[in-house]
Amino acid sequence: MKRSPARSRKEPTIALINIVFLMLVFFMVAGTLAPPVDGDLALVETAALEGREPPDALVIGREGQLRHRGNVLPSAVAFLEQPDRQPDDVVRLMPDRALPAADLLRISSELRAAGAGKIMISTERALQ
């Protein structure tokens, strides 16, 4: 009796085709979930806008100088002692990019020790 030659197992290409088809359908649906922007819409250009700090932010310069509403402050504690501030206010810091991190930590710890409840740091978000 002759043995039949060993048959090689066929690869399940149908399963692979099904997976690829399901991925195609998924990406088609996911791509159409957000409505497209109107073609005649012209967005605002902000390249010529001058950046200004919010009036309630404590601005910290690159050398560590503190300013609030254009006025130079002698210390971070002086910012909290202003008569128009509420004790439970959030302190918003706007540090210069060139300010050393050690100075930012020192100023924020001075604010914490003086009674600041929450300290928020404003940064620039890059769109690249």
Taking only the tens of pLDDT, the chain with its 128 residues reads 677 776 767 777 888 899 999 999 998 888 766 666 666 656 656 565 556 656 678 888 888 888 887 788 888 888 888 777 766 668 888 888 888 889 999 999 988 888 888 888 887 764 44
Which of the 8 DSSP states describes residue 17?
Answer: H
Contact 91, 79 (CB under 8 A): yes
Q: How many domains, the chain?
A: 1
- Report the distance separating Cα 109 and Cα 116, nearest Å: 9
- Report the distance separating Cα 1 and Cα 105, nearest Å: 88
- Is the pTM value of this prediction over 0.85? no
Contact 115, 85 (CB under 8 A): no
83 in any annotated domain: yes
Structural domain that includes position 101: 57-121
Domain CATH for 84: 3.30.420
